[in-house]
Amino acid sequence: MPQKVRIALDAMGGDVGASVVIHGAAISLSRHPDAEFLLFGDSAQIEAQLAQHPALKAASRVIHTDVTVSNDDKPSQAVRRGRKRSSMWLAIEAVKKGEAGVAISAGNTGALVAMSRLCLRRLPGIDRPALAAVWPTMRGRSVVLDLGATIGGDAHHLVALAVMGSAMASVRFGLERPTVGLLNIGVEEMKGHEEIREAAALLRAMNLPQLDYTGFVEGDGIHKGAADVIVTEGFSGNIALKATEGTARQFAQALRGALTSSWRSRIGYLFARNALGVLRDTMDPGKSNGSVLLGLNGIVVKSHGGTDAEGFANAVHVGYELVRYDLLIKINQMLNRDGGALFPAPAAQEAVS
């Protein structure tokens, strides 16, 4: 019998907190009966929720703390107040100690990134971690990173993102040499910021065995599936992510409006209901909820703060798969080797802002 998959949850993270996290974990347990949970946070709140989910209660251990990272905390504040004490920190630390295979939080992204860096430390050769996610595209799926772990960055940072992203794509999609594109405002060579053009030149010159750099990709190239891996620094990556989510929601709302606008369209809806349910599931951002923090000595998954229980269950699913199939261990091994070779001198300081 395979080992249980042990998952550490920050039960207080997210806009709602324990009710979404515990309900989400319960949904996840029904899909993955071999999962076990470490639940960090206010035990009274957690136990109150667990009372409604006896199966989850049986598969969980509650570790009490009354320190919670707030959505408004700056990363530096969060670290100061929450280090070694907050539900977020303790969940991450469980990964460091080997008590859990993955930590999952829907809390404050900046705090999660800062605490993960501090607790788990970066892999050799990686100057800062990145949030990566798998996006559904018109062609299939692509890895997009950085979705906002850090902002800005020079050409070497973009090259590091390309290496990390292609490692993830090769493992997740079974590709020998994933194609990699750099997000830009045009596909012509002279477009965009200097660091992007410099990264393009570096990637071409390096001609790495593990990735096939194919050029610049515009914002809509992500959705076309222009490359297996789309690389950008965290500011524009976050804008692209949120713009995609916003458009999907706007489209879904408009579709609902259209299908209830007349008796004819309402009849149409009755017939097409099942098919439209599949569509909704395909395009629902919650369904692909769960970004992976790459570049650290351990696995951390970030869920949307505003997600519901179903969405949180998807983030847990991402974490479960990463542990069950040792995906991030493989990725991190590749990075450790190739990343280390690419960037022999690690950055001097952990900068927690």
Q: Which is nearer to a copy of itself, 60 or 291 (CB)?
A: 291
Q: Residue 254 or residue 341: which is nearer to a copy of itself going by CB? A: 254
Nearest Cα to Cα of residue 99 among 34, 197, 211, 8:
8
Instruction: Return the residues of window 132-191 that contact a copy of itself according to CB under 8 A.
Output: 136-138, 148, 151-152, 183, 185-186, 188, 190-191
Site size with a copy of itself, rule: CB under 8 A = 68
Nearest Cα to Cα of residue 165 among 183, 179, 151, 149 = 179
Applying CB under 8 A, the span of 3-11, 71-79, 94-102, 163-171 interacting with a copy of itself comes to 71-79
In the complex, minimum distance from the CB of residue 231 to a copy of itself, in angstroms, rounded to a whole number: 13
Element (DSSP H or E) covering residue 107: none
Among 243, 326, 341, 351, binds a copy of itself (CB under 8 A): 243
Taking phi first (over 0 means left), then psi (-120 to 50 degrees means alpha), and beta for anything else, what does residue 274 get?
A: alpha
Cβ nearer to a copy of itself, comparing 32 with 304: 304
CA dihedral 121, 126, 128, 132 (to 10 degrees): -100
Q: Are 299 and 7 in contact (CB under 8 A)?
A: no
Binds a copy of itself by CB under 8 A, chosen from 1, 205, 275, 345: 275
Contact 64, 352 (CB under 8 A): no
Using the minimum distance from each CB to a copy of itself, give the nearer residue, 58 or 254: 254
Burial of 4 (C-beta count, 10 Å sphere; 0-12/13-18/19+): middle
- The answer to the question of residue 1 lying near a copy of itself (CB under 8 A) is no
Contact 123, 114 (CB under 8 A): no
Residues of the shown chain interacting with a copy of itself in the complex, contacts defined by CB under 8 A: 71-72, 74, 109-110, 136-138, 148, 151-152, 183, 185-186, 188, 190-193, 218-224, 232, 234-236, 238-251, 253-255, 257-259, 261-262, 264-265, 267-276, 278-279, 282-283
